[in-house]
A = this chain, B = another copy of it.
Amino acid sequence: MNKTIADIAQMAGVAKSTVSRFLNGGSVSENTRQKIERIIKQYNYVPNTFARSLKAKKTSIIGTVVPRLDSYATSQTLMGIDEELRQLHYQMLIANTSQDMQREIDAIYDFARQKVSGIILLAAEITDAHLKAIEDIQIPVLLVGQQHESLHSLIHHDDQAGYVMGKHVIEQGHRDIVYLGVSEKDQAVGIHRKRGFQRAIAECNDCNVRYYETSFKMSEAVVTAENILGKNMPTLIVAATDNIAMGVMKTAFSRSISIPQQLSVTGFGDYDITEMIHPTLTTVKYHYSQAGKLAAGHISQLVEGQSVRLKTILDVELISRESVDKL
Contact = CB atoms under 8 A, between A and B. Distances in A.
A113 B53 CA distance: 14
A50 interface: yes
Interface residues of A, number: 38
A301 to B, nearest CB: 23
Interface of A is mostly: helix
Given A218-B272, A250-B276, A273-B273, A49 B79 contact: no
A323 B98 CA distance: 33
A51 B56 CA distance: 12
Interface string A240-264: 0000001101100110000000000
A54 B53 CA distance: 10
Contacts of A218: 272-273, 276
B82 A96 contact: yes
Nearest to A277: B277
B50 A115 contact: yes
A116 to B, nearest CB: 11
A72 B70 contact: yes
A74 to B, nearest CB: 8
Interface string A81-93: 0110000000011
Interface of A: 46, 48-51, 53-54, 68-70, 72, 75-76, 78-79, 82-83, 92-94, 96, 98, 113-115, 218, 222, 246-247, 249-250, 253-254, 272-273, 276-278
Complex A-B, nearest 10 residue pairs according to Cβ-Cβ distance, in ascending order: A253-B278, A50-B54, A70-B75, A69-B75, A50-B53, A50-B50, A250-B276, A94-B94, A82-B96, A51-B54
